[in-house]
């Protein structure tokens, strides 16, 4: 079933806290992951949270975005890789990221976004 995009929602557990607080290394890793999957960077926003150095980094790409939120004090990272179009494989970016972070445990949800074919279920509803 084809859709307008793919969205990987990733959770990493048991990561090195120093890695999770290293904004330069994280940015370099995400940029490399975008390059590997053929994305085109359009802008970025980074914030480092005191006191533990958790990082939020959002990189906008022409094909959607890649983002990360880290909690070094818990060894945890939440990552989104959202790609639009049929030419990009978010799993290529995932391979770069997991090889750099080396989590002890992880969970990945792969969502197909914008499935527009006839016969698909319409889960939309209006809240009154």
Per-residue pLDDT 10s for the chain (128 aa) are 578 899 999 999 999 999 999 999 999 999 999 999 999 999 999 999 999 999 999 999 999 999 999 999 999 999 999 999 878 899 999 999 999 999 999 999 999 998 887 655 455 444 44
Catalytic residue at 45? Answer: no
Dihedral through CA 105, CA 29, CA 70, CA 111, nearest 10? -60
**Domain presence at residue 107:** no
Cα–Cα dist 79/17, whole Å: 16
pTM listed for this prediction = 0.87
Report the CATH number at residue 94: 3.60.90.10
Catalytic residue at 84? Answer: yes
Query: Which residues constitute the domain of residue 64?
Result: 5-102
Cα–Cα dist 22/123, whole Å: 40
Q: Count other C-beta atoms under 10 Å from residue 101's C-beta.
A: 22
Catalytic residue at 64? Answer: yes
**Domain presence at residue 74:** yes
Which entry of 7, 15, 33, 64 is annotated as an active-site residue? Answer: 64
């Amino acid at each position: 079933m084809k859709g307008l995009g793919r969205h990987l929602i990733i959770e990493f557990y048991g990561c090195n806290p120093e890695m999770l607080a290293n904004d330069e290394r994280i940015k370099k890793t995400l940029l490399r992951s975008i390059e590997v999957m053929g994305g085109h960077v359009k802008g970025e926003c980074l914030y480092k949270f005191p006191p533990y150095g958790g990082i939020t980094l959002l990189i906008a790409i022409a094909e959607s975005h890649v983002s990360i939120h880290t909690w070094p004090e818990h060894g945890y990272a939440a990552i989104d890789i959202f790609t639009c179009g049929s030419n990009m494989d978010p799993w290529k970016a995932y391979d770069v990221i997991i090889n750099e972070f080396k989590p002890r445990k992880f969970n990945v949800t792969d969502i197909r976004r914008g499935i527009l074919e006839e016969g698909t279920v319409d889960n939309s509803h209006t809240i009154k």
